[in-house]
Structure 1
Amino acid sequence: MSCDMATRQTGVSCRMSPILILSIALQVACCVHVARSGRPWYWMIFLMMFSYLAVLVYVIAAVIPDLRHDPSGQRAMRKVRAQLDPGRGARDANRQLQVADTPENRRRLAEESLRTGDFASAEAAYRGALKGLYADDPDLMLGLAQAQQGLGQPADALQTLQSLRAANPQYRSHQADLLHARVLAETGATEEALQRFDNVSRGYPGEEARVRYGQLLRQGGHTEQAAAQFRESLQRSQTAPGYYKREQKAWLEIAKRELAAIGG
């Protein structure tokens, strides 16, 4: 007997409502968490008996505390908080700086400002931190260069990077190498930028360097070489694990569009 026929005969719908389906899904998810976390079995009985109320209680009593103590959970919660309130980290860092004007607090404010795209505040904070024992700190100098590049000051960023290299000849950073290539391109030193992009893209942990290299090649009329870079990014992603594809999704999409525009 079909569901529609049974409904007409009994007056009761045999289709599960979305609310019931959601309840079952949440209950099952919580039961899986109970089993994986090794919690007492009575949690499962409680979850099966009281539906949404039980799920709410379990999330508050078990899931949230677990997230607070689990490194991956902490990262996820920070990411959610950053999306809901992007400026919170910078405000907290600024309050800490008002309480104690220390190099570490200046560093934190600078990093939070840079993360949220407040490049002017980031530049000021980095300059304030680059004093005394930290006057040649390579991470702070890199942050200053990133803020300068974000402000549309590639020449200043290039000078900062050159000072960084001179003061810290043993310092190695993929981000510094990529930024150096970018500001060279932005200051018109295209040939040197292409050489640096070529070197950086070979060992960069992600697709940004390779895609940016392809874009610069295309701008210079080197379409075949550019297409090769975009293809390599897309081919690498085919055998990459899922987390890598998610992290690099934006750059892979750019590679697809660029390759399509070339006709490759």
Structure 2
Amino acid sequence: MFPFWSDYYYLVIILQIICVVHVLKSGRSREWLFFILFIPVIGVVVYFIREILPDITNGSFGENLLRTLWPNGRIQEWEKKVRISDTVTNKMQLADAYAQQKQYDKAIALTLECANTFTKDPGIILQLARLQFLNGQYAASIVSFDKVNTFKGVRMSKAEDELMYARALEQTMETGRAEEEYQKIIRVHHSLEAMYYYGLLLKKQGRTDEARAQFEKTGQEIDLHPRYVRRTIRKWVWLSKKELATL
């Protein structure tokens, strides 16, 4: 009765699966899942245009797809290169490959080895701080972040690094310093992620009105960011809405 639907039913299912995997792997807003699953054809088409096509045009889709289908491929590639030539560059690339697969202990061990060889390289120390944070070694990451700032003419400038530092301070119960860092990141970078985590800190402290203001701010300030950035940070608006519903 519906030959078109019967012919393309399985294709739609496959495309839905691809889109769902992309949502989960890329950290896109979970609201997309309802759109993709319950309005199949339209949802898949809209998601492809809004979220996947930009990845294809900027060249990251192929790399992300390869990482999903062959997660250890990059590790094997760089392990081989390190066996051929154990340079610092190759070791740092291998450490990054380990980190992408959340093998943080191996990544930290390699990065520490490089840091001990090049003690004055702030880039290696900064990467070590990031890995320590991701591995839950918050006190150690604070030490490494602070060391980066001791190098002459070098300061952390990326919002992502500053936010890791703030969250590490919070995790080690230095809430006063953490709050100062959150406020600075929000003031300088208009980071929605910082607003979200600062809101969580305020919520834990029972400062409900201030927490609500931060969560609401994510929706108010997303338009301040370029269009190509908005699609990667929408999840902080979505997560903030979930928190607002609990206040």
Q: Structure 2 regions of 5+ residues with no counterpart?
A: 10-54
Task: Label 1:211 to 1:103 Cα distance change in 2 as closer, same or farther (>3 A).
Answer: same
Q: Contact 2:190–2:221 at 8 Å: present in 1 too?
A: no
| Residue type of the alignment partner of 2:146 | Q
Q: Contact 2:148–2:154 at 8 Å: present in 1 too?
A: no
| Residue type of the alignment partner of 1:166 | T
Report how far residue 258 of structure 1 moved.
0.9
Residue 179 of structure 1 corresponds to 164
Instruction: Give the TM-score, by structure 1 length.
Output: 0.68
1:246 aligned to which of 211, 231, 236: 231
1:88-140 deviations in whole A, cap 9, x for unaligned? 222212221111100111111112222221110110111122144x3232222
1:72 aligned onto 2:62: no
Distance 2:221 2:158 in 1: 22
Residue 111 of structure 1 corresponds to 96
**Greater C-alpha radius of gyration:** 1
1:54-102 deviations in whole A, cap 9, x for unaligned? xxxxxxxxxxxxxxxx983631100111122222222212221111100
> What is the aligned residue count?
202
Task: Label 1:79 to 1:190 Cα distance change in 2 as closer, same or farther (>3 A).
Answer: same
SS in 1 for 2:173: coil
Residue 130 of structure 2 corresponds to 146
1:159 aligned onto 2:139: no
Greater relative CO (CA pairs within 8 A, separation 6+): 2
Distance 1:206 1:162 in 2: 21
Q: Structure 1 regions of 5+ residues with no counterpart?
A: 1-12, 23-69
1:122 aligned to which of 99, 107, 115: 107
| Residue type of the alignment partner of 1:195 | E
Residue 154 of structure 2 corresponds to 170
Distance 1:150 1:114 in 2: 9
| Residue type of the alignment partner of 2:125 | M
Instruction: Give the TM-score, by structure 2 length.
Output: 0.72
